Structure 1
Amino acid sequence: MATTAQPSRLSRLLALVPYFLARQGISIDQAARDLGVTPRQLTKDLEQLFVCGLPGYYPSDLIDIEFSEGVVDVRFTAGINRPLRLTTTEASTLLVALRALVDARGTVDRDAARRAIAKIERAVGSTVPSVTGPDGDGDSVEESPIVGAIREAVRSRRALSIRYYSATRDSVSERVVDPIRLQVVDHNTYLEAWCRSSDGVRLFRFDRVDAATVLDEPATPPGDAVASSQSAILSEDAGLPTAEIEIDASELWVLDYYLIDPLEPVGDRSDPSLPLRGRLVYGSPEWLARFLLGFGGRIRLVGEPEIVGAVTDTAAAARARYR
């Protein structure tokens, strides 16, 4: 006989308060049957909830549930009065992963993935472009024309004409590319493709593609390019110079927007308040100087004395204008 996987204790604890709030006075035995646990386990869960609550953790801050007489009454929820919902970040991460499944080759239930995408987007009101396809209720899920063109080129193995913004070069270029596959890196979706103008494999981030048109010719990437996956740090700007930088903890968000390869683990540091070192890909010394000036010293170069001097001189000149 097939068995149904039980939810983790944490997920069960988070669901208990809304459940009992909607069923004041329910017996522990009945609740245990509804929740698929034993009365003994449910009692242990309630005892755990009894010492949980809001920061401060004084008696008035703790969840107050009465269950001593065999029935359960909720007197104070400590704010946990609704079922757990996805945050925008969590929902976006799930959507990106599900869309990658839709585009993956092999035995993937694409209809199930599309239905999951539709339900998540309806629940959170996501503005992230989604995958076209019917959901279980007969509704359709819309996607932007650009995203649709990119995905169609990958599916049909057709060449693609794109207009692309390069953040490190601070420029827009027209390119013809031969799609290879899609990649998901740090919650962003990339098109991996053979770029004919660069004569190499590049990654193109979806949200930096300003226009995309599927061409009436097959994609013909070299065989060795298809066989190996491209590194995200090389992206569409392979061959550009790099510089070692030091990033204050308050500015680590730049890792999501620029080609920066962390030189140490980001999420597993002994002191998260310390600066992080990384390697930044940049287009020109002038661009790098503007980039550093924009952060007012919160991102600094390690080495590169000529560029450091240019940044210092520009900052000094700017201060002098306001004296």
Structure 2
Amino acid sequence: MSQRMTLRLTRLLNMVPYFMAHPGITKQEAAAELGVTVAQLKTDLEQLWVCGLPGYGPGDLIDLSFEEETVEVTFSAGIDRPLRLTPPEATALLVALRALGEMPGTADPTSVQGVIAKIEAAAGVATGDVVTRSAPESDQESPVVAAVRSAVRNGRALEITYFSASRDQVTRRIVDPIGVVLVDNNSYLQAWCRQAEGVRLFRYDRIDEATELDEPARPPAAALADSSSLELFQDDATLPQARLLIAADHAWVLDYHPMTDVRVREDGSIEASMRFASPDWMARLMAGFGAGVRVLGPPELSESVRSRASAALEAYGQPIVG
């Protein structure tokens, strides 16, 4: 749902109790207090007029009187009454809120904890106790996450120090934030990178430092319109590519490293291709997997991994010098 639609839905849900608390208020006064134009207020009232409880008969729909200059609610269809959550509904909502609070950058953890406390108090001690015991305590938001979230909220540029796992490099760059993306239980900053001149995703736990700059973020409009540039991993044809054979019990490797052209063999092992920028980094990574991942090509990478493994075995075979 777009931000515009979300704001309108919030306004519509608040309008019925608002007009019930202000019977006979004029459209001009209501529009000024609600922060909308009179024309938008009329559109909202017409939308409310056809909303109500399931069944949508004359006795179910919200009924309003707004033909004249004033507005009055003649039938609220129950929307004026406070929402009461059942214990299962409250538990599900609390679990979702705790999960949201544990994802860095998605929300202010202080605000999330405040909402959780209010729902627990309203839902009763029993529900709150169950959820509180089963959920770990949230850590305080780190300065890096707070800076990134603030820059996204304020629409300001960021200077970040970032570790690129695929290139085995730490770089410092200025980016123009676009938003926050959640992929496979990880939070990413979606931003226009001025250094790469393209939209990139920066994983929160790989951002070592972040400073909000005193200048507005200006991601190019063309980049925002191109959804293909917002993908988590793009197969860069300019980088060398390794063909790997992954043992069945090492299939988890695919969850941590970007792979393409994945094929499962009859014995459960997996063939996949992986791009890399640093041959030394790739050789170290492959050697660390031991027999779990075998390099099928290119030959120079296979030889580099074999040399590293041989050197490690020889080092362990030497006597320890005291």
**Same-fold status (TM-score > 0.5):** yes
TM-score by length of 2: 0.55
Give 1:124's aligned amino acid.
A
Q: Does 1:309 align with 2:303?
A: yes
Q: Does 1:183 align with 2:181?
A: yes
* TM-aligned CA distance change 1:170 to 1:238, over 3 Å: farther
1:102·1:114 contact (CA, 8 Å) conserved in 2? Answer: no
Query: Does the residue aligned with 2:290 lie in a helix, a strand or coil?
Result: coil
1:79-228 equivalences under 5 Å are: 94-95=99-100, 115=115, 123-127=134-138, 142-228=140-226
Deviation sequence 1:303-323 (CA, Å, 0-9, x none): 211211222233233334416
Unaligned runs of 5+ in 1: 4-34, 37-84, 104-110, 130-141
- 1-structure distance, mates of 2:189, 2:133: 26
Equivalent residue for 2:312? 318
- 2-structure distance, mates of 1:221, 1:199: 10
- 1-structure distance, mates of 2:135, 2:172: 35
Query: Does the residue aligned with 2:182 lie in a helix, a strand or coil?
Result: strand
TM-score by length of 1: 0.55
Deviation sequence 1:258-285 (CA, Å, 0-9, x none): 3334725xxxx797x7222333232211
TM superposition shift of 1:93: 9.7
Larger radius of gyration: 2
Equivalent residue for 1:245? 244
Query: Does the residue aligned with 2:254 lie in a helix, a strand or coil?
Result: helix
Unaligned runs of 5+ in 2: 1-51, 55-85, 121-130
* TM-aligned CA distance change 1:203 to 1:96, over 3 Å: farther
Deviation sequence 1:151-195 (CA, Å, 0-9, x none): 111121110011111112222111110011211111111111111
Give 2:179's aligned amino acid.
R
Give 1:314's aligned amino acid.
R
Deviation sequence 1:38-60 (CA, Å, 0-9, x none): xxxxxxxxxxxxxxxxxxxxxxx
Query: Does the residue aligned with 1:181 lie in a helix, a strand or coil?
Result: strand
Across the aligned residues of Structure 1 and Structure 2, the Cα RMSD in angstroms comes to: 4.1
Higher fraction of helix:
2
- 1-structure distance, mates of 2:271, 2:169: 26
- 2-structure distance, mates of 1:274, 1:198: 39
Equivalent residue for 2:69? none
* Aligned-pair identity (%): 40
- 2-structure distance, mates of 1:263, 1:228: 26
* TM-aligned CA distance change 1:97 to 1:210, over 3 Å: closer
Equivalent residue for 1:274? 268
1:96·1:187 contact (CA, 8 Å) conserved in 2? Answer: no
TM superposition shift of 1:123: 4.5
The count of residues paired between Structure 1 and Structure 2 equals 216
Equivalent residue for 2:257? 258
- 2-structure distance, mates of 1:234, 1:299: 23
* TM-aligned CA distance change 1:101 to 1:227, over 3 Å: farther
